[in-house]
Structures are given as C-alpha cells and as structure tokens.
Amino acid sequence: MFTEHYAHWIDGRPSPINPSARIERLSPAHDVLVATYAAGTVAETEKAIAAARRAFDHGPWPSLPGADRAAVLQRTAALIRENAEALARIETLESGKPIGQARDEMAWAAGIWDYAAALARTLHGDSTNTIGSNQLGFTLKEPVGVVALITPWNFPLLIVSQKLPFALAAGCTCVVKPSEFTSGTTLRLARLLQEAGLPDGVCNVVTGYGEPVGRVLAEHREVDKVSFTGSTAVGRKIVAASHGNLKRVALELGGKNPQVIFPDADLDAAADAVVFGIYFNAGECCNSGSRVLLHRAIADSFLERVAARARTLPVGDPLDERTKMGAIVNEAQFDRILDCIASGTREGARLLLGGKRLGSGPGRFIEPTIFTDVTASMRIAREEIFGPVLSALCFDTTDEAIRLANSTAYGLSAAVWTRDVDRMLTCARGIRAGTIWGNTIMEGGCELPFGGYGQSGIGRELGPDALEPFTETKTVMLHLGPRKNLWHQPPDSAS
Ligand code: NAD
C-alpha cells in the first residue's frame, strides 16, 4: 500500500495547493494512510467555477455537435474499462468496500458513460404545427450552463457517473466536489476525460469539506444548477443555499427502504435477496433494504433463513477476493451505527443476530445485525442507519404492508416478494417510492430512471430522459407571411 497525493483539477491541470491544508485518508479496513487530498478554500472553489464559466461562455463544448460530445464520452467509457483495476483498488482502499464489488461498480460506471454517449446524439427539441397556418412553433434544447455536482462517499465513481456524463452530453460545464473521504477516483476520472479529448475547463474537480467547498458551489451566482447526492440533512442546506440566484436543484437523498415478503413468494430467493439488500456495501447504500416487512404467518421461519445466511457472510479485509462485507467508512459512521443498535435494544426490539464490533485488530467492522419485534415508531424503523442493521416488522394484510412501507419520511425504493400478480401490482401502485422491485432487488440498468419520493429527493437521474434536467427549453415562435397590424391604424385609414 502506498499513499497517493492529489491536487485539485482546475482548467485542465492539477492546481497548486496549500500543503498545510491537506485531508489525510486512512483505509477504513487497515488504518493505513492511502491518500491525501487538498482541503479546498473559497478562492480555489471560485477559481474552478470561473474556469467552468469561461468554458461554457466561450465554448466550444456547449455548441459542439452531439456526435463529437458522444465520441469523448465513449472514449471515457473505454478508458474507465482500461483503468478499472487501478480505480477499483483506490475505491476499496478509500471506502472499505470489497474489491470484487468495486470491480463490478467500475464496469457499471463505464456502461453509464456509453449510455450517455448514445443520448448525446438523440437530444432534440420538438415542433408544433397546429397553432394556425401562419404560425409555427418549435423548441430548442440548450445546456443549462455551469453545473455543480456534489457527491457522497459510498459509491464514488458510480454516483459521479450518474451525473457527469449526462451533464456533459447536454453541453454543460461542471465543477465536481467529491466526498472528502473518497476523492481519488473522481480526480482520476478528470484526467481520463482530458485523455479522451474533453477541452480544458469543461470538467473541474475541487476536493475538500462541505464547508466551504460545497456551500460555495451551492450559493454561487455563476453556478446555474446544483446536482447533489447525499444525506437529507445536507440536501436541505443545499436548497437553502441555492436561493440567491434561484438555481436549478436536483437531490438524490437517503432511504429507509422496505423489503415486503408475502407467504406465497419463493422464500429461498427472497431470503437471499434480503441478505444482499441489507448487507451489500455494509448497508452503506441509499437503496439498502433496511426494513424487512414480513407476513406474520412466515415471519419467524423466514428470519431463521435470513439469519442462517447472514451468519456465514464473509466479513473482513476488503482486499480479500472472498469478502462480501468490508469496513465501515469512518469513525463517525461507525459510532452512529452502534448508537442506533443500542437504541434498538433500549426501545424494546429483540436482537436476533450480531450487534457488536467485529474483531479487535485495525479497521472498523460491524457484525451483520438483525432486530426482530420492531415497531414502526422505533428509531431503527424510521431513521436511515447506513450500516449492516436489518429491522424486521410484521403485517397481516396487504393494506397493512403498504401502510407500513409508507410509514417513513423517505420514498426511495422498495422490494415486493409475491407470486400473486394482483397483490404485486397493488403494492407497486400503493407504495410511494421512486423504484419498486418485484421479486428481486437492486436489479436493472441505467436505462431505468432513478430517484426518490418525499424526503428521498427531487428529480430523477438515468433513464432515457437523463439529459432533460441538464437542459433549458427555449420556445421559438415564427409568424409566416404578412402580419396584420392589430394595434396601430395608419392615420389615413382613421377617417
Ligand atoms: P453527506 O450529505 O454528508 O455528504 C455528501 C456530500 O455533501 C459530500 O461531498 C459532503 O462534503 C458535501 N457537503 C457536506 N456539507 C455540505 C454543505 N453544507 N453544502 C454543500 N455540500 C456539503 O452524505 P454522505 O455521508 O457522504 O453519504 C451518505 C448519504 O448519501 C446517505 O444519506 C445516503 O442515503 C445518501 N445517498 C443517496 C443516494 C441516492 O441516489 N439517493 C446515493 C448514495 C448516497
């Protein structure tokens, strides 16, 4: 293991930084220094915004043919694939996620860049030919301008890849602020973009903390849009900070996602999915299926199946190819998870599995944990824990299952397990969430839109309309032939 020292990336080059203002990143699994990043200042953030502004106002990126922008995105996809092993290793060392999973995420991210390239060539306006024989209207799709992209630590390259290629495809220029815990792959990506032919200043990366870097991006009048993925609490701050110039705001926030299990489901497959749904990325996942809602008739036997699988889950060194669950990202998150577990016991839930720190060596690991006898009002049923903690609740009827599913402030995703098509569709319609999985979880591709209801966010990413939020629609209205004078009558016609 060796330490990487990164600078900001502004206007096509590493930007000189103050060596005393560095953020040190220790691998959460090994407690070894793996990276240092610049702790960005107000001036550095403003320099990046100015570079993006120049690249937007003076071009050529916003006015290039879609095919030319698509070519850059496709080359970037290829470069991500070529560098996948190095990128995956950076993510594992900085975030604690298993190396096998990190490799899958690099492949997934590359696929999104290819998809965005296809959309870059299909972006178009519309025409209206039905407003009168002497009138013709049409719309132009134009890039929204300078976009700030603020991302979290749980899927660093994947989440920036849900935003950046679509912003670029639309012709926007960007300033990206990755998480202060996992900035490495975003900075690498900026270099790959240059290698792929992206003009200087079109994509800038400023590292550092939410205060001041994120705040300045959200407030700044030269930024036209902010696209944020992270916690609901910070999402609220972004909305407040963005008021000054009424910038466009897109938010992808937290979740407390239910996995609803009916007795007629393939219970073996459902148990496997429940284990995956909660312990994938150690539960540090916005889509984490952290509440399992069980029909009372199968609750105990089903939880036995889940617990049996969870007990044998390989937890440990994320560099070990066999590991399925790695380390918890940082001390604050680790403490918060243990605090939530303590609250579960205090409020009367029954600990069926886990609940403790795992191991006594370096790094921070938590046992796969299951609570049963949970009620909807308990903290572990309402709050996003963002850790490997599953809360089991019971229901008797489909209506009750839907009510329970909707009993939190969030609405990101839900999984429903039943072979009964009526019941499946009733749940799909009744549950207020941006994504409903039927007899599966976390499946599907970037062709499908993603985003949240309620406090899980504003707007959608991915899918065929993924460029739309990075555009403005301009209406052009043409009058054909002579236009009748409606207001001003010539003096000689007045008599
Ligand atoms: P976070 O909200 O703490 O931080 C996210 C980003 O915002 C970081 O880059 C951080 O530096 C920055 N930030 C912090 N304060 C800021 C401020 N005042 N102004 C502007 N930026 C600021 O989130 P996190 O801990 O990095 O990530 C975990 C959260 O992200 C969870 O709540 C999770 O559900 C959510 N998440 C959502 C999705 C989704 O697609 N819905 C995906 C992944 C993660």
Tell me the CATH number at 131.
3.40.605.10
Are 289 and 393 members of one domain? Answer: yes
Nearest residue CA, atom 9 of ligand 1? 179
Q: Exactly one of 286, 340, 394, 446 is catalytic; name it.
A: 286
**pLDDT over 80 at 308, yes or no:** yes
Beta bridge partners of 417: 261
The token duo for 226 is 């902010």
Please determine, for residue 15, whether its predicted confidence score (pLDDT) is greater than 80. Answer: yes
pLDDT at 331 over 60: yes
264 plus 277 within the same structural domain: yes
C-alpha 186/C-alpha 147 separation (Å) is 16
Per-residue pLDDT of 34-82, as tens digits, reads 999 999 999 999 999 999 999 999 999 999 999 999 999 999 999 999 9
Q: Is residue 345 part of a domain?
A: yes
Same domain for 9 and 136? yes
Catalytic annotation on 219?
no
Could you confirm whether 252 is annotated as catalytic? yes
**Mean pLDDT of the 458-485 span:** 96
Pocket test for ligand 1, best of 97, 154, 226 (most atoms within 8 A of CB): 154
Catalytic residue of the set 91, 105, 252, 461: 252
CA atoms within 13 A on the CB side of 274: 33
Are 358 and 247 part of one and the same domain? no
Q: Is 436 in the pocket of ligand 1 (CB under 6 A)?
A: no
Task: Indicate whether 495 belongs to any domain.
Answer: no
Residue 491's pLDDT is what?
Answer: 75
Q: Which residues, including other chains, have CB under 8 Å from residue 96's CB and lie 6 or more apart?
A: 27, 28, 29, 282, 318, 326, 327, 328, 329, 363, 364
The confidence score (pLDDT) of residue 485 equals 81
User: For the residues 335-341, what does the mean pLDDT come to?
Assistant: 98
> Each residue of 343-374: pLDDT tens digit?
999 999 999 999 999 988 899 999 999 999 99
In a domain, 77, yes or no: yes
CATH number for the domain spanning 419: value is: 3.40.309.10
For residue 495, pLDDT over 80 is answered with no
Rg of the chain over all Cα atoms, to the nearest angstrom: 25
Q: Report the separation in Å between the CA atom of 125 and the middle of ligand 1, taken as the mean of its atom positions.
A: 33
Partners of 229 in beta bridges = 252
Which pLDDT band holds residue 89 (cuts at 50, 70, 90)?
very high
Q: Do the beta carbons of residue 409 and residue 367 sit within 8 Å?
A: no
Instruction: For residues 283 and 192, state if they share a domain.
Output: no
Span 123-139, average pLDDT:
96
Q: Are residues 62 and 101 in the same domain?
A: yes
Average pLDDT, the chain: 96
Which of 153, 163, 231 for mutating ligand 1's site (highest number of atoms within 8 Å of CB)? Answer: 231
Instruction: For residues 368 and 467, state if they share a domain.
Output: no
Among candidate residues 149, 191, 121, 138, the one with its CA nearest the CA of residue 52: 149
Q: What is the pLDDT of residues 372-408, one digit of tens each?
A: 999 999 999 999 999 999 999 999 999 999 999 999 9
What pLDDT is attached to residue 19? 78
405 in any annotated domain? yes
The overall longest dimension of the chain from CA atoms, in Å, is 102
Q: Are residues 229 and 296 in the same domain?
A: no
pLDDT confidence of residue 493? 59
Q: Range of 78's domain?
A: 4-253+456-476
In this structure, the answer to whether residues 301 and 327 fall within a common structural domain is yes
Closest residue by Cα to atom 23, ligand 1, is: 230
Task: Evaluate whether residue 151 is within a structural domain.
Answer: yes
Token duo for residue 38: 């610049």
Same domain, 112 and 22: yes
The pLDDT tens digits of the residues spanning 407-416 come to 999 999 999 9
Asked if residue 412 belongs to a domain, the reply is yes
Distance 417 CA to ligand 1 centre (A): 30
Any domain includes 484 = no
In this prediction the pTM is: 0.96
164 and 201, same domain (yes or no): yes
Mean pLDDT of 311-318: 96
Q: What is the pLDDT of residue 148?
A: 98
Query: 206: Cβ below 6 Å to ligand 1?
Result: no
Segments in 59-98 forming alpha helices (H): 66-82, 84-95
**According to the model, what pLDDT value does residue 490 have?**
74
Task: Read off the pLDDT of residues 154-184 as tens digits, 9 standing for 90 and up.
Answer: 999 999 999 999 999 999 999 999 999 999 9
- Overall domain count for the chain: 2
Shared domain check, 267 and 238 = no
Is 183 a member of any domain?
A: yes
